[in-house]
């Protein structure tokens, strides 16, 4: 069920909150098992066939961890990491590599028409983080219930944020509704949930109407007029931000209402003045995962310029592949690898750039690279690029109002997390929040509900 659906907002989540409060109040020892059951029910609602995949993934990795702690055989962790990535590869990349083999090598390869379990990239990376830290001696032993909840916690299982075990495990020991600030935390969680719903329902989904038809035309081979190309590119730039940051706000808000603080994932990325700064602000938990578990182990910046550039390029290329089984996603990752490499060379040369110029170059680079991320093929991306640089007709209309509003909020306004912290506890604000929430529900009932973009990854 979607977070922006009646089934979730009016049935599953209120029922979950009620059960969680009752258990936490009268049988606190059952709090974690309840949250785990709710999480598995939530995941199984999407497609019950994939619930055993998640459950088996949790059980096998936990058993490997227990065995390692008894034997201290590091090869167990190595094999587990290989197995996790192999399962991810089979579900997500088998057909991609089969098609690649046919196109490049001329080899006829079988293809499997298997569905992609939602969130498999995210829960696989959670396993990877824990197992690597366990082998390094940084992570302790956890019970099966606690480990399972770390992997499957329903606010973040489908699209993150990527949470380190050290950020969440200690919170499982708390009595969240016994805290002196319990009511305030619950209220601020509700504010975050509402902000996220507003981002999704009133900003991201309307922008999809500006974007999807134009990319569909490009995919069908039509020439894209300049105004349409800019409308689609700008529209998607802000659609994906409000879609993904809206999901994150909802996840953080719901977790807070359940007594769990999750890490932030966005910090005004379109205000960045360099590409390095952008990746410190965009999908922050993925950025630090790639840094700590891929870039640094590959050598990082500690072993000379050549190694640093190679590690950076490999990290971003694999980051692009992680986002999707397609050449366009790899090209998007390669583009960001080249852009970050250019930034390294610029800084190594001791050159400086005014902040305003850095912002313009960064936002243009990010916007142009989003075309590769969104386009269904290279041909479609090329048609969008032709329109962007004026090689086609000028076009007739440019729907700018929603884009301008989204740009102003994204670039000039505070993050939802920051705004939530400064909202004072006033009755009129609570009434206004209720009105906004009702408006969201009315909009959900009156319009098509789009899935979150990052659910496909």
The pLDDT of residue 239: 96
Query: Is 323 an active-site residue?
Result: yes
29-33 average pLDDT score = 96
Look at residue 109 and tell me whether its pLDDT is greater than 70.
Answer: no
Q: Which of 126, 283, 323, 336 is catalytic?
A: 323
Closest CA to 135 of 71, 197, 178: 71
> What is the per-residue pLDDT across 335-345, written as a single tens digit (0 to 9) for each?
999 999 999 99
238-258 average pLDDT score = 96
Cis peptide before 415 (omega within 30 of 0): no
Q: Residues 397, 398, 402, 408: is their CA dihedral positive or negative?
A: negative
Look at residue 111 and tell me whether its pLDDT is greater than 80.
Answer: no
The pLDDT of residue 195: 95
Look at residue 1 and tell me whether its pLDDT is greater than 90.
Answer: no
> What is the per-residue pLDDT across 225-244, written as a single tens digit (0 to 9) for each?
999 999 999 999 999 999 99
371 HSE (CA, 13 A, CB side): 28
Confidence of residue 221 (pLDDT cuts 50, 70, 90): very high
The pLDDT of residue 456: 65
Look at residue 207 and tell me whether its pLDDT is greater than 80.
Answer: yes
> What is the per-residue pLDDT across 35-48, written as a single tens digit (0 to 9) for each?
999 999 999 988 88
The pLDDT of residue 293: 94
The pLDDT of residue 107: 67
The pLDDT of residue 50: 86
The pLDDT of residue 100: 64
Look at residue 103 and tell me whether its pLDDT is greater than 80.
Answer: no
Confidence of residue 384 (pLDDT cuts 50, 70, 90): very high
As a whole-number percent, the residues of the chain with pLDDT over 90 amount to: 75
Look at residue 112 and tell me whether its pLDDT is greater than 80.
Answer: no
pTM here is: 0.93
84-104 average pLDDT score = 79
Contacts of 81 (CB under 8 A, 6+ apart): 128, 131, 132
Lowest mean pLDDT among 100-109, 230-239, 256-265, 447-456: 100-109
Domain boundaries, the chain: 6-178, 183-274+353-448
308 and 344 in contact (C-beta within 8 Å)?
yes
Q: Name residue, tokens 């922006």.
A: 4
Look at residue 450 and tell me whether its pLDDT is greater than 80.
Answer: no
227 alpha-carbon distance from chain centroid: 30
Look at residue 12 and tell me whether its pLDDT is greater than 90.
Answer: yes
418 and 252 in contact (C-beta within 8 Å)?
no
Confidence of residue 105 (pLDDT cuts 50, 70, 90): low
Look at residue 449 and tell me whether its pLDDT is greater than 70.
Answer: no
Instruction: Give the SS3 label for residue 457.
Output: coil
Phi and psi at residue 443, in whole multiples of 5°? -65, -40
The pLDDT of residue 106: 66
The pLDDT of residue 301: 84
């Amino acid at each position: 069920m979607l977070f922006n659906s009646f089934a979730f907002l009016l049935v599953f989540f209120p029922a979950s909150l009620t059960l969680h409060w009752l258990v936490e109040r009268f049988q606190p020892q059952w709090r974690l098992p309840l949250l785990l059951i709710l999480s598995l029910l939530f995941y199984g609602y999407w497609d019950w066939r994939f619930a055993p995949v998640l459950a088996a993934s949790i059980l096998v990795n936990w058993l490997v961890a227990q065995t390692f702690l008894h034997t201290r055989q590091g090869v167990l962790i190595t094999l587990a990491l290989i197995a996790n990535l192999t399962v991810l590869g089979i579900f997500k990349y088998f057909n991609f590599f089969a098609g690649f083999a046919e196109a490049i090598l001329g080899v006829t390869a079988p293809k499997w028409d298997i569905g992609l379990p939602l969130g498999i990239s995210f829960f696989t990376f959670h396993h990877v983080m824990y197992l690597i830290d366990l082998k390094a001696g940084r992570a302790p032993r956890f019970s099966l219930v606690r480990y399972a909840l770390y992997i499957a916690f329903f606010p973040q299982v489908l699209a993150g944020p990527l949470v380190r075990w050290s950020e969440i495990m200690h919170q499982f020991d708390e009595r969240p509704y016994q805290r002196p600030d319990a009511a305030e935390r619950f209220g601020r969680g509700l504010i975050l949930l509402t902000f996220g719903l507003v981002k999704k329902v009133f900003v991201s989904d309307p922008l999809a109407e500006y974007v999807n038809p134009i990319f569909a035309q490009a995919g069908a081979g039509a020439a894209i007029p300049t105004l349409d190309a800019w409308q689609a590119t700008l529209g998607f730039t802000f659609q994906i931000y409000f879609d993904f940051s809206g999901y994150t706000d909802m996840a953080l808000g719901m977790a807070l209402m359940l007594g769990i603080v999750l890490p932030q994932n966005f910090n005004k990325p379109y205000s960045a003045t360099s590409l390095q700064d952008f990746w410190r602000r965009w999908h922050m938990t993925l950025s630090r995962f790639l840094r700590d578990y891929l870039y640094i182990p590959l050598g990082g910046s500690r072993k000379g310029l050549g190694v640093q550039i190679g590690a950076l390029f490999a990290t971003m290329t694999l980051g692009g592949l992680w986002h999707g089984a397609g050449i366009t996603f790899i090209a998007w990752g390669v583009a960001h690898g080249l852009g970050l490499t250019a930034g390294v060379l610029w800084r190594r040369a001791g050159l400086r750039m005014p902040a305003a110029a850095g912002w313009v170059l960064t936002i243009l680079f990010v916007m142009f690279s989003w075309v590769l991320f969104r386009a269904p093929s290279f041909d479609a991306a090329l048609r969008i690029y032709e329109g962007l640089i004026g090689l086609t007709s000028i076009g007739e209309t440019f729907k700018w109002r929603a884009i301008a509003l989204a740009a102003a909020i994204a670039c000039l306004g505070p993050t939802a997390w920051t705004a939530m912290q400064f909202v004072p506890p006033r009755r009129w604000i609570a009434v206004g929040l209720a009105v906004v929430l009702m408006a969201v529900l009315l909009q959900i009932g009156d319009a098509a509900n789009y899935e979150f973009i990052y659910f496909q990854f």
